[in-house]
Chain A
Amino acid sequence: EAQVTQNPRYLITVTGKKLTVTCSQNMNHEYMSWYRQDPGLGLRQIYYSMNVEVTDKGDVPEGYKVSRKEKRNFPLILESPSPNQTSLYFCASSPTSGGYNEQFFGPGTRLTVL
């Protein structure tokens, strides 16, 4: 089944404890992206990757890192999480490198930072 998977789906952690949220797609898509969803703010783009060689910042990159070492994976890294990073996170992928076609979203990761 063609899909975007994220792990973990739920995570409760404490301030300052490094964590990684994994994202993987099996559709051979060039483009991948991370978003966070907060009530009343919609979705905001954190980072995106046009292809394996190109990664760039979105609207809210502070406090996050990403890595695109291979086409199918695009992990989101929080080196030192803080409570304001408590949010619902979505990974997405798209077949074209510009991401200008439909994006396919993962199931989401609900992160709570205490």
Chain B
Amino acid sequence: AQSVSQHNHHVILSEAASLELGCNYSYGGTVNLFWYVQYPGQHLQLLLKYFSGDPLVKGIKGFEAEFIKSKFSFNLRKPSVQWSDTAEYFCAVIRGSTLGRLYFGRGTQLTVWP
């Protein structure tokens, strides 16, 4: 069973629309949470991460994510997308109990039309 779930396989938006990509995980205990982005033909890059503290984290390029522990969720948001945000987005989790193991969701392909 997939332990990190990304609910949207493909999202299509127009420029300036708001974005929210869902991510849920099924682990209890301590987790470190990440969102990575993969632009066409490129390797993965870190957008943002959550380890502890303020559950609302800000990343690069205007992205932010909110950790809601009670919902096991770490949704990614951006108020106004741009054509250059077209990419595949991956949620990833490391559990405190199994260091070294990084679990990825299946990814969400975002297409932004100009």
Residues of A with Cβ closer than 8 Å to B? 31, 33, 35, 40-45, 48, 50, 56, 58-59, 90, 92, 97-103, 105-108
Contacts and interface: CB of A to CB of B under 8 A. Distances in A.
Interface in B9-34: 9, 32, 34
B43 A105 contact: yes
Contacts of A99: 94, 99-102
A110 to B, nearest CB: 11
The 4 A-B residue pairs with the shortest CB-CB distance, nearest first, are: A98-B99, A42-B106, A43-B104, A105-B43
B106 A105 contact: no
Q: Which of B9, B36, B42, B43 has the most CB of A within 10 A?
A: B43
Contact of A40 (B36, B42, B90, B106): B106
Contacts of B45: 105
